[in-house]
Amino acid sequence: MKLNNLADRRQLGTTSKVPKWAVAYKYPPEEKTARILDIEVSVGRTGRITPTAVFEPVRLCGTMVSRATLHNQDFIDQLDVGIGDYVKVYKSGEIIPKIREVVKEQRDSSVQRFHLPEFCPVCGTKTVREKDTADMKCPSPNCPSQVERRIINFVSRDAMDIKGFGTVYIEELVRRGFINTIADIFVLKEHRTQMIEEGIIGKEKNTDKLLDAIEGAKQRDACQLLTGFGIPNVGKAAAKAVMKQFGTIEKLADAGMEQLMEVPDIGEVSARCIRNFFKDVSNQEMIRRLEAEGVNMTHIRQEGDSDRLAGMTFVITGTLPNMERKQAAQLIEQNGGKVSGSVSKKTTYLLAGENAGSKLTKAQTLGVDVIDEERLLEMIRN
């Protein structure tokens, strides 16, 4: 809420951090009571087993919702929630449905307590509790649900970007045993006739289109391949930084903890995840097969790339005189810098254009250096 009268605004003034003439007001989140009909469990890419509450549909902030995550067994125990319970549901940030609490007064004797299954609901392998976390995992690397999620990540736009490889096809190919690992994607062509006969991707035309897209993906940059491996804590930005440093998947596979941690923005956790991934024998075999199929394992240094901004984190705000914010972000990343959405103590520079707002104020408060477009271009040139 803001004061309308400009003279009043001037009179009230600002503190070093905030204007005194404006205040944020949040409506209390809308809340509804709903009965839990079931608790479903699903298995993610890394084998994590996640329980989801399914409740009677209720209208919240304009849409109908009927599901909310229950995270893990500890969360379920803390909430003390069972199937048949009435719960208070709200939308966090007006977007994500969440359960606030159980309405104990409405609980009856039919309520069933819930425990995460001892065996994976998809493949039947005995589940294990992960060290230091509350997560239960299916430890089998061949679990179909995990294979599906891994393939979905591999073909996604940030990774190998294989167009037309929809989730439905992936599920079907995994279910029918055509795909068990990432490497199997590149030998699908050997099953072309059978795939057409069984109509998995449609008829000839559709099947060939997908097989062509798969062939084309072999030339993708190795940072996309690395993103596609879906190593925990190694997303698109980290994969880029890592490949810039090591150049090839082979060199990366040989890198030790210390070498890995020298890469900007790679901490101990990510480094360990990378080490564990390349130590795994089935992953080594998968990579050998990818190589044999002619999948590119090298990071192609693009023209204009440098590491002049390595180790620096930028936040961009306002309207820049000559480029879109997106272009500026690309330029920073090409030169080894990182772009973040919010200003913190870790921010190296705030790149500010016209009409910069709260981010500029925050940068000034935290003592973050503020630069303009021209200065950024100078930094890249020199």
* Residues of this chain that bind Zn ion (CB under 5 A): 120, 122-123, 125, 138, 140, 143
- To the nearest whole angstrom, how small is the minimum distance from the Cβ of residue 160 to Zn ion? 24
Strand ordering across the sheet containing 349-352: 338-340, 313-317, 349-352, 369-371
CB 244 within 8 A of CB 222: no
DSSP designation for 2: B
Report helix, strand or coil for 168: helix
Rounded to whole angstroms, what are the CA distances from 107 to 35, 38, 82, 110, 112? 10, 15, 9, 8, 10
Find all residues with CB under 8 Å of 183, minimum gap 6, and list them.
Answer: 286, 289, 290, 293
Vertex 268: Cα angle to 266 and 274 (nearest 5): 70
Nearer to Zn ion, 125 or 206 (CB): 125
Q: How far apart are CA 97 and CA 89, in angstroms?
A: 7
Nearer to Zn ion, 125 or 361 (CB): 125
Place of tokens 């997908």: 210
Sign of the dihedral through C-alpha 301, 305, 309, 312: negative
Nearer to Zn ion, 140 or 224 (CB): 140
Nearer to Zn ion, 122 or 185 (CB): 122
Nearer to Zn ion, 120 or 238 (CB): 120
Nearer to Zn ion, 143 or 287 (CB): 143
Nearer to Zn ion, 43 or 316 (CB): 43
Q: Which residues of 105-120 are buried (b: 16+ CB within 10 A; e: fewer)?
A: eeeeeebeebebeeeb
Nearer to Zn ion, 138 or 179 (CB): 138
- To the nearest whole angstrom, how small is the minimum distance from the Cβ of residue 54 to Zn ion? 21
- To the nearest whole angstrom, how small is the minimum distance from the Cβ of residue 136 to Zn ion? 11
- To the nearest whole angstrom, how small is the minimum distance from the Cβ of residue 115 to Zn ion? 17
- To the nearest whole angstrom, how small is the minimum distance from the Cβ of residue 51 to Zn ion? 15
Segment 27-31 long-range contacts (CB within 8 Å, at least 24 positions apart):
29/90, 29/91, 29/92, 29/94, 30/60, 30/61, 30/90, 30/91, 31/88, 31/89, 31/90, 31/100
- To the nearest whole angstrom, how small is the minimum distance from the Cβ of residue 41 to Zn ion? 11
- To the nearest whole angstrom, how small is the minimum distance from the Cβ of residue 295 to Zn ion? 27
Q: How far apart are CA 27 and CA 66, in angstroms?
A: 22
Q: Which amino acid is at 68?
A: A
Nearer to Zn ion, 126 or 157 (CB): 126
- To the nearest whole angstrom, how small is the minimum distance from the Cβ of residue 117 to Zn ion? 10
- To the nearest whole angstrom, how small is the minimum distance from the Cβ of residue 354 to Zn ion? 54
Tell how many helices (H) and how many strands (E) occur in the chain.
Answer: 15, 11
